[in-house]
Amino acid sequence: MIPGVDTNDRNWAIYANAAGLLVFTNIPFANLIATLLVWLKVRNDPNTPFARAHAATALNFQITWTIFTFCFIGLLVSIAATGGGRFAALLPTIVAAYFALAVLNVLLCVIGCARASDIKGYRYPLSIQFVR
């Protein structure tokens, strides 16, 4: 537990992690935009260092997730453009892997929310560090 974290700081940290759950709305890039907005809100505020750390790590993970999603879409488009060929047999495996990773995205966001609620630090695994 990190001492000196007030309720406002803790709440913004929870919002930053929960924003990633917006990936499953019908709004394109809602997860990325919401996480970015939280990070922009807290990044220069001297009263929210805990939220700033959580928002940066959540934003890094959502950027990584968005890049992964574009790679997945590119893979599907390339398989479709070539008529499937020998890669058509891999399509069910690729789609299943994507959905398994989507469940992992939700799980990691919930864990981040829980860690922020308990006023503990959290770093998403498998994320590229773009912002600090």
Buried b / exposed e along 15-54 (16+ C-beta atoms within 10 A): bbbbbbbbbeeeeeebbbebbbebbebbeeeeebebbbbb
Q: What is the pLDDT of residue 44?
A: 93
**What is the rounded CA–CA span in Å between residue 118 and residue 42?**
19
Q: What is the pLDDT of residue 12?
A: 96
Question: For the whole model, what pTM was predicted?
Answer: 0.89
Tell me the pLDDT tens digit for each residue of 93-128.
888 988 998 899 999 999 999 999 999 999 999 899
Q: What is the pLDDT of residue 1?
A: 61
Both tokens of residue 100? 């398994």
Q: What is the pLDDT of residue 2?
A: 67
Reported residue count of the chain is 132
The number of angstroms, rounded, from the C-alpha of 48 to the middle of its chain's C-alpha atoms is 20
Domain boundaries, the chain: 7-117
**What is the rounded CA–CA span in Å between residue 50 and residue 117?**
11
**Within 13 Å and on the Cβ side, how many CA atoms surround 118?**
9
> Digits of tens for pLDDT over the chain (132 positions)?
667 789 999 999 999 999 999 988 889 899 999 999 999 999 999 999 999 999 999 999 999 999 998 998 888 888 888 877 777 788 888 889 889 988 999 999 999 999 999 999 999 998 999 998
